[in-house]
Structure 1
Amino acid sequence: MSDAPARPVESGGAPPTRTSTVVAVLAFSGIVVALMQTLVIPIVPELPRLLDAPASDTAWAVTATLLAAAVATPVTGRLGDMYGKRRMLLVSVAMLIVGSVTAALSESLIPMVVGRVLQGLAAGVIPLGISIMRDELPAERLGSATALMSASLGVGGALGLPAAALIADNFDWHVLFWTSAVLGVVAGVLVVTLVPESRVRTGGRFDLVGGLGMAAGLVCLLLAISKGGDWGWTSGTTLGLFGAAVVVLLVWGWWELRIQEPLVDLRSTARRQVLVTNLASVAVGFAMFAMSLVIPQILQMPSATGYGLGQSMLSAGLVMAPSGLVMMATAPVSAAVSKARGPKVTLMIGSLIVAGGYGLNILLMDQVWHFVLVSCVIGAGIGFTYGSMPSLIMGAVPASETAAANSLNTLMRSIGTSTASAVAGVILAQMTTVFGGVALPSQDGFRTVLAIGGGAALLAFAVAAFIPKQGRADGTLLASSGPGGRTVEPSKA
């Protein structure tokens, strides 16, 4: 381990590229990666038959992607700061392509899970894209561009469900993964030809021990959250994993504070603006995912239950799709509010909109258009919140730490969504009604999850109130401040 402090180094300049083109390519890449969240949803009930494996094992096709993404996001962010953000973005896209091809060729469980792990390793594309924007875009374009890039996570998830359902209904299930592979190739070619390499790097050595420790801690934590409902929340396995996560992450934190070039600069993340934003991100991630868990289920419940609407998976996806478009349309509005009033205000407004959407959904659950309306309202709120968080993070860290800091923020949102899935699963499993001899989640159970989602949004509002007031939202506040107060001047392209 080197005792010398990591010094930012300059990368070679890139030919001038139109700002709008860079933004479009990076946003497209983010949407392609976000599609992986909903890619397998239409075929999850069929996976035991398709892969000739028990349902408890085929669930790993979803869980493995979650775990891989959680580990990969902060690691690729740090590597991007060290060796080049565009380079690591291309590595991530390559993982997506290889994983998609592996899953497309699979006929059994193990290659499918391997393919889904590789797809999960691509999760760092969105925070890397935001970091490239900070390095390459003029300040006046940065706010709207990063808002759009951050919203691409929700856009991809919303648009992916109807697209995946359409493919699954009309073609062999392998076509799902061949399609994602083709989209990955297109994204990779566009990045290679149109996106310049970031001009700011930290150099230094990669913290391998920190990477392994963080991976072990996150896997234990997220495995316990995602599988605790199946194993039992008081089972030895679940409690053991939670305990191991606490111990491993505490030791990891001690190590990160001890070494000169940590994987995650915990002193930077302890800054009030970064810390509070990350805490709010957990609540926002929870609030966003609660909608995705409830609305499709109600839409597909048999109408004879009295509260289900008897829609197909494709119809349910089409109901959710407008929310993705609303998120995209909200990005420039979010940026304008952040520019005028600061990203803290934008985050608080978005949280209130999300809470209002959940309150509306508790009252309106009888018609398909009710859910279109509600998903659009919540989508608008998510667009505001997701658009504000990169500005808050970039306004509190030096340019040389942008990718790592944004990646950690993305991870916090993922922890929120994982927790939402676990909480909703417990509630819907306990609050049931019998229909046709089968226990189904009751309407009160769905309303309870919606109420908790709204409560999470209100919690995000309350937490955001403690973020220090910021006067600008262009992400350049600390762009010239390096680690230890050293000045960092990016090279001129």
Structure 2
Amino acid sequence: MRAATEPHPIDDTPHPRLLVGVLAFCGVVVALMQTLVVPLLPHIPELTGSTPTAASWLVTVTLLTGAVCTPLLGRIGDMYGKRRVLLASLGLLILGSVLCAVSSHIGVLIAGRAFQGAALAVVPLGISIMRDELPPARVLSSVALMSSTLGVGAAVGLPVAALVVEHADWHTMFWVSAGLGLLDVLLVLWKVPESPLRSAGRFDALGALGLSAVLVALLLAVTQGADWGWASGRTLGLFAAAVVIGLAWGAYELRHASPMVDMRVSARPAVLLANLAALLIGFSFYANSLVTAQMVQEPKATGYGLGASIVVSGLCLLPGGVSMVALSPVSARISARYGPKVTLSLAAVIMAVGYVVRFFTSHQLWMIIAGATVVSAGTAIAYSALPALVIRAVPAAETGAANGLNTLMRSVGQAVCSAVVAAVLANLTFQVAGRTAPTLHAYLVVFLIAAGAALLALAVTLLLPGRGAAVEVIGTGAELRPAAVGEARA
């Protein structure tokens, strides 16, 4: 069993490439599940006898449960075993997929999607396992690959789901999701060991409840504000509740001996700024996914739309997914040589350039794909650098919780982006061919806002401590305890 401060022996983990491959595959499956339902949303009311508002909850509920469960399960993994919590997360994915596969009732579908959303914790848990199990020379490149799976799965999920919607019963994609989840479980049982590292102390149940309440109030207000009205009592009440509960929760966490989120660690500039950058990068990335498919599907009568099918619109994002796989090791090499701060700065610039390209080239399919791919390339480099920044700034005992919080901030950025994009596209419209459609100007405004978010991420990144100030804290800080005999290795 390794002590927390001992270096990672190179021969300690058998077949490290297989370990990384298994964990990365888990990440791709979870990310794919997050976007699987998007092409189906316009058809859900007809297929289930529900309303468009109810159908929108198939996306909203995964955002809520993912946001709540990601930091919670990351912390539980730090304390009680990352592998076992990883398996539990995959079990929730399977359960949610089966519920969606066997029913057409909107209530059951929403419940199933809630369970699927909880599986988003797989990515930060995988990153934590890699930090514990791999030799130092492999950590950066492996973590980069694991982090980029969020974008890869999203890019692959849209065209795959579109093909299923057009050519098969829509329940099929949920059976496929369940099958992939089961395959993930078997692969984890086969090749992923349990980490011997544990965070000491008792689980902070009240802190977990407070964090959940803050996130639910905030994200409900953000995601439903457009439907309820931004000045409505419900929306303003939820925002107020998020602030009040958040302040009380923060004060409680500062006094707790074993907090859900270590506020002192989270307040370090290296951690705080990394999380703020993650929020902005998540915002900028999600705009690319939201508008690309919709834009190319707009009818030609709009003057800018291409009248493309659902499948073609989904395939527009596929080159971006391929670029994310290809660029994650490149990002790791840049981080190893110059530091993740330089890598993240470069990524933010590439994303902003991609949106500038999109601003001036929105009339031809190949140029739309090129611009979207440039943004995805920047996202790949950014997503690969963010966990490296977090790993360098937090103790090994808190890797799961800290990366869970960083992943959460990306999700919050995506939620805010979704609300902003919906507001822009709903307010800048015109009548064409008997229907209301967004104007080209609406899409261009979205590109400018997303480019602005990328440039803000650049500004935040430049404020991060330089490479010389970064301190490797593996095995320091919070107290670690060895796992009990029989816990450490499965």
Equivalent AA in structure 2 for residue 223 of structure 1: L
Matched, 1:89 2:115: no
Q: Which residue of 2 aligns with 1:369?
A: 366
Match 1:412 to one of 409, 412, 416: 409
Equivalent AA in structure 2 for residue 37 of structure 1: Q
Q: Which residue of 1 aligns with 2:475?
A: 480
1:59 counterpart SS class = helix
| Matched residue count | 481
Matched, 1:458 2:466: no
Q: CA RMSD in A?
A: 2.0
Q: Which residue of 2 aligns with 1:253?
A: 250
Q: Which residue of 1 aligns with 2:316?
A: 319
Match 2:266 to one of 269, 275, 281: 269
1:413 counterpart SS class = helix
Give CA deviations for 1:373-394 in whole Å, capped at 9, x if unaligned. 1121111101111111111001
**TM-score, normalised on structure 1?**
0.94
Structure 1 residues 292, 16: closer, same or farther in 2, change over 3 A? Answer: closer
Correspondence 1:34-49 to 2 at 5 A = 34-49=31-46
Structure 1 residues 196, 9: closer, same or farther in 2, change over 3 A? Answer: same
Q: Which residue of 2 aligns with 1:301?
A: 298
Match 1:70 to one of 67, 73, 82: 67
Runs of 4 or more consecutive aligned structure 1 residues displaced over 6 Å after TM superposition: 7-10, 487-493
Q: Distance in 2 between matches of 1:8 and 1:335?
A: 24
Q: Which residue of 1 aligns with 2:18?
A: 21
Q: Distance in 2 between matches of 1:359 and 1:169?
A: 33
Structure 1 residues 265, 334: closer, same or farther in 2, change over 3 A? Answer: same
Q: Distance in 1 between matches of 2:350 and 2:224?
A: 31
Correspondence 1:86-485 to 2 at 5 A = 86-471=83-468, 477-483=472-478
Q: Distance in 1 between matches of 2:13 and 2:418?
A: 44
**8 Å CA contact 1:17, 1:195 repeated in 2:** no
**8 Å CA contact 1:8, 1:201 repeated in 2:** no
Structure 1 residues 8, 76: closer, same or farther in 2, change over 3 A? Answer: farther
Give CA deviations for 1:414-447 in whole Å, capped at 9, x if unaligned. 1100000000111111100111221111100000
Q: CA deviation at 1:16?
A: 3.9
Identical counterparts, % of pairs: 48
Structure 1 residues 472, 97: closer, same or farther in 2, change over 3 A? Answer: farther
Q: Which residue of 2 aligns with 1:4?
A: none
Q: Distance in 1 between matches of 2:380 and 2:104?
A: 38
1:433 counterpart SS class = strand
**8 Å CA contact 1:341, 1:471 repeated in 2:** no
**8 Å CA contact 2:4, 2:480 repeated in 1:** no
Structure 2: give runs of 5+ residues left out of the alignment.
none
Q: Distance in 2 between matches of 1:487 and 1:17?
A: 24
**8 Å CA contact 2:97, 2:112 repeated in 1:** yes
**8 Å CA contact 1:9, 1:201 repeated in 2:** no
Structure 1: give runs of 5+ residues left out of the alignment.
1-6
